[in-house]
Amino acid sequence: MTDNTFLAPKTDVEVQAAQAKEEVMLSRSPISKEETRETVEEILEAYPAKVAKKRSKHVIIRNPEEIDQEIAANERTTPGIITQRGCAYAGCKGVVVGPFGDCIHIVHGPIGCSYYAWMTRRNQYKTREDGRNWLNYSFSTDLQEEDIVFGGINKLKTAVREAYNIFDPKPKSITIHATCPVGLIGDDIQGAAKELTEELGLPVVAFNCEGYKGVSQSAGHHIANNGFFKHWIGTDTETEEIEGFTVNLMGEYNIGGDAWEIERVLEKCGIKTVATFSGDGTYDAATKAHLAKVNLVMCHRSINYMATMMETKYGVPWIKVNFIGIHAFAKSIRKVARFFDNPELTARVEEVLTEEIALAEAQLAEYRKRLEGKTVFLFVGGSRAHHYQELFADLGMKTIVAGYEFAHRDDYEGRQALPKIRVDADSRNIEELEVEPDPERYNPTRPPEVLEQLREEKVIGDYEGMMPDMGEDTLLVDNISHHELDVLIKRFKPDLIGSGIKDKYIIEKFGIPCKQLHSYDYGGPFAGFRGAVNFAKDVDLRVNGQAWKYIKAPWQK
């Protein structure tokens, strides 16, 4: 049996609050099992028999006694069903690559695609001393009908040269992102990128992230990871070592300033961030990422590929963390301290946690009184539907239905599901890089026997997924449709729904507040200790505000 006492709360304040949070998360759903089953039946009755059979595998009632409970995920959406999903291009440019502010990101395609991926995520970026910051710009080749007929590669080269010549200082790198028409007409963006790299003397990186690749934006994440790994990671060959307790933040996109709050606490503990992928990230830091001692993976789905490849090539292990929620944050920081196993660092971490938790808990107390017992639906991204359950539980709020838009089974069931996942044609459409240990730079950051012990303790290289943290009879719905959301709202009547912009206003027409958790509406940060307090204020105003009680949908008038 693994000894995880190092992760346990240390002060009376923390112990009591952590126990209360755990009880909320693992408690049974307040909705009876019978009503939950009836609701699932009502959802499926609206579909043709073939579609209903398929969807039934994506809608699962949680049963903790079923050790290997499975859910279908990462499968094509049935044509005609409206879901929250995006495309591969959105996942590549809009999520993973776009937040790098000192690079110019050019969309090769129609202007609508570029506009769609421009500033929709509220990624925050601080301009450095060199003055490079193009995050507020939207660069596009603006393909027209004649370009589709005759090819757009010359237009692309012209666009890259113009972007390079117009700005001073010059960008650190230029990225090219293909949209659907580009893949269909066969423009050789990789050849163009290679030619322009030699011509301009800076890395021009092309991503074949045509929207139709894969079944969702998840494919774009994978493509972005591959591109970073091949063209950016490890390209700094001058820096031999970065001293101290060093980490990379991975799968953290600095929505509303989240990364800055995380880095504040890490720095206070004496932990240095080398690179962030990708919120507030810089090109130079990314090229040095292989020198960090460990990768901290926030969004498992969007960045696990690169974390795994970096471990194989450079010997940099990864820790699955969650910096959303007071006690999730504390547990994650303790994992980092356990990894380094330095008495001075551990003591400093406990000192910081004691101070930060006491302050945050004192500020949350009043909000918790008004929010305890409220119910929540969560339909967000790749990991946020899991992460935010911790923060809602800190506030005494129970998540009764949750699901991801673009997750794979391991995001629900944990990485133990990987051997059982069938590789289909859509998955084979995405390149799998063959990675081997670097003969010169493979440098495990801890001795082999220590790494093995850390794996046994599930400190590194492990993610148990969302499912184990959901209570009995709660509902998991993968890739939810608007029809399914409507039925669930009418039957379960939640107090709040955390979701995305595509269904935010549909939800609010039901008179139920929706917290937009893709770009935080206009709030944030919500990560870390101060972020938890910001979130509590926001949620309290929504749940306990009076406006929603007077709203009637147009069809009710």
CA 34-491-21 angle, 5° bins: 80
Whole-number Å distance between alpha carbons of 28 and 122: 35
Whole-number Å distance between alpha carbons of 278 and 138: 18
Cα 6 to Cα 317, 335, 342, 427, distances in angstroms: 19, 8, 13, 39
Q: Which of 73, 88, 90, 209 is catalytic?
A: 90
Whole-number Å distance between alpha carbons of 220 and 117: 13
Pair 143, 110: CB distance under 8 Å: yes
Whole-number Å distance between alpha carbons of 266 and 242: 16
- Could you confirm whether 87 is annotated as catalytic? yes
Cα 503 to Cα 108, 491, 508, distances in angstroms: 28, 18, 9
- Could you confirm whether 221 is annotated as catalytic? yes
Q: Which of 221, 384, 386, 408 is catalytic?
A: 221
Cα 363 to Cα 108, 324, 360, 527, 534, distances in angstroms: 48, 16, 5, 15, 10
Give the H or E element holding residue 496: strand 496-499
- Could you confirm whether 90 is annotated as catalytic? yes
Q: Where are the alpha helices (DSSP H) in 242-282?
A: 258-269
Whole-number Å distance between alpha carbons of 225 and 124: 21
Phi (first) and psi of residue 420, to 5 degrees:
-95, -5
The dihedral formed by the CA atoms of 366, 368, 374 and 377, expressed in degrees to the nearest 10? 120
Count Cβ neighbours within 10 Å for each residue of 372-392 and write b for 16 or more, e otherwise: eebbbbbbbbbbbbbbbbbbb
Pair 140, 179: CB distance under 8 Å: no
DSSP state of 97: I
- Could you confirm whether 542 is annotated as catalytic? no
For the record, the structure tokens of 480 come out as 């939810």
Q: Which of 62, 105, 108, 121 is catalytic?
A: 121
Whole-number Å distance between alpha carbons of 557 and 411: 42
Q: Which of 18, 73, 87, 113 is catalytic?
A: 87
Q: What crossing angle do the helices spanning 258-269 and 343-371 adopt, rounded to 10°? A: 140
Q: Where are the alpha helices (DSSP H) in 99-215?
A: 111-116, 145-150, 153-166, 180-185, 189-200
Unique residue bearing structure tokens 């009836």: 38
Count of CB atoms situated within 10 Å of the CB of 493: 12
Whole-number Å distance between alpha carbons of 357 and 138: 41
Residues belonging to the active site: 87, 90, 121, 221
